[in-house]
Structure 1
């Protein structure tokens, strides 16, 4: 049960950080480019911080971060496409 809660927390944190970063990057570029930038930066920094946060088991932590980012990439790109269509 604890593992499921940790995974849900990681997924929700990833979604929140991606949304905030994408909104910030949308000010300097188009929505799709902002989504890709937010995804890449979030993936790199969250993987590195997860790697160092769990000194005993860094690989499962990094895999959890990568899995969360992989699950949230399609909705992020879909939202960026809708934003581009709405703006046109």
Structure 2
């Protein structure tokens, strides 16, 4: 049960960080490019922090972070595509 809770917590944190980063990046680039930049930045920073957070066995935490990012990339890109199709001007 604890493992499921940790996995859901990691997934929700990853989703929140990707959404916030994409909104910030959208101010300087188009939505799809902002989504990719947010994904790359969050993946690097979260993987490094997960690596250092568990000095004994970092591989399971890094795999959890990678899986969470891989699960959230398609919805992030879909949202960026929808926003581009709406033709909203950058904020």
Tell me which interval the TM-score lies in, with the shorter structure as reference length. Answer: over 0.9
- For these two proteins, the number of residue pairs brought into alignment is 88
Give me the whole-angstrom Cα distance separating, in 2, the residues matched to 1:87 and 1:39: 22
Find out whether 1:13 has 2:38 as its counterpart. Answer: no
TM-score where L is the length of structure 2: 0.95
Structure-2 residue corresponding to 1:76: 76
Q: CA deviation at 1:56?
A: 1.3
Equivalent positions of 1:26-37 (< 5 A) are: 26-37=26-37
TM-score where L is the length of structure 1: 0.98
Higher relative contact order (CA 8 A, sep 6+): 2
Measured against aligned partners, the alpha-carbon deviations of 1:44-70 in whole angstroms (never above 9, x if no partner) come to 000000000011110000000000000
Two-structure CA RMSD over aligned residues (Å): 0.7
Runs of 4+ in 1 over 2 A off after TM superposition: none
